[in-house]
Copies of this chain bind each other. A is one copy, B any other.
Amino acid sequence: MSNKEISIQVIRRLPRYYRFLTELQNDGVDKISSTKLSAIMNITASQIRQDLNCFGGFGQQGYGYPVAQLKEEIGNILGLSNKYKAILLGAGNMGKAVATHMDFSSLGFELCGIFEKSGELIGTTLRDITIKPDDEVQSFCKENDIKTAFLCLPKDAVSAQIDMLYSLGIKNFWNFSHYDITKKYADTIVENVHMNDSLMTLCYRITQNNKEK
């Protein structure tokens, strides 16, 4: 089966496998059975076997999965050795959190530029990158062949900039706003981080739990 045909549900579990395998490797674990991996990851062993079978040929039945090899292969499937050049728009609290917390190079990206509207942040540095004014986005992206943008902007600001970004050939977005990029540009690749949705889900689960008591 080619990777193209793998369902998005399986794909969305791969980063989690990668994360747990990285921890096992750091803990010096060489091999792990689907049963043990199942206990650590809190998903069924049969789900694990089914997921990993999608990509074919991982591990030897009965011997467990070789941790380092499995991690490397999942990393290859995810494409983490790439260095996709990206810019960050918005150096407010969320932009700062993203710029300082993320280990982009281990996640397939290289953060090349940070842009901000507000005057006082221009010229300051974040992660050794000097923050530039918004009006330099176009020239920077053309010079550096940027195809990916991380958007730490309010919805209205994304709305105001999205046409310019798209016209520059930027079609890959990591989006922290609630602006719906794919609705306007269907051929973009967008991963949304909707923190509100996550908190509402927590609220629902607490509410249900209280009802059951």
Question: With the chains together, A198 CA to B204 CA distance in Å?
Answer: 22
The chain B residue sitting closest to A204, CB to CB, is: B78
- How many chain copies does the complex carry? 2
The one of B79, B104, B147, B207 in contact with A204, judged by C-beta atoms closer than 8 angstroms, is B79
A187 vs chain B, min Cβ distance (A) = 9
B207 with A191: CB separation less than 8 A: no
A49 vs chain B, min Cβ distance (A) = 21
* A194 on the B face (CB < 8 A): yes
B15 with A200: CB separation less than 8 A: yes
Chain A interface residue bracket vs B: 35 or more
Contact indicator per residue, chain A 7-22, by CB within 8 Å of chain B (1) or not (0)? 0000110111011000
The one of B16, B195, B200 in contact with A101, judged by C-beta atoms closer than 8 angstroms, is B195
A5 vs chain B, min Cβ distance (A) = 11
* A120 on the B face (CB < 8 A): no
A181 vs chain B, min Cβ distance (A) = 11
Contact indicator per residue, chain A 131-168, by CB within 8 Å of chain B (1) or not (0)? 00000000000000001100000000000000000000
Question: With the chains together, A83 CA to B180 CA distance in Å?
Answer: 29
Question: With the chains together, A172 CA to B191 CA distance in Å?
Answer: 26
Question: With the chains together, A12 CA to B12 CA distance in Å?
Answer: 15
Chain A to chain B contacts (Cβ below 8 Å), 19 pairs:
A11-B204, A11-B205, A16-B194, A42-B180, A42-B182, A78-B207, A80-B203, A82-B203, A84-B206, A94-B97, A94-B101, A96-B97, A104-B199, A107-B199, A108-B206, A108-B207, A109-B199, A148-B202, A172-B206
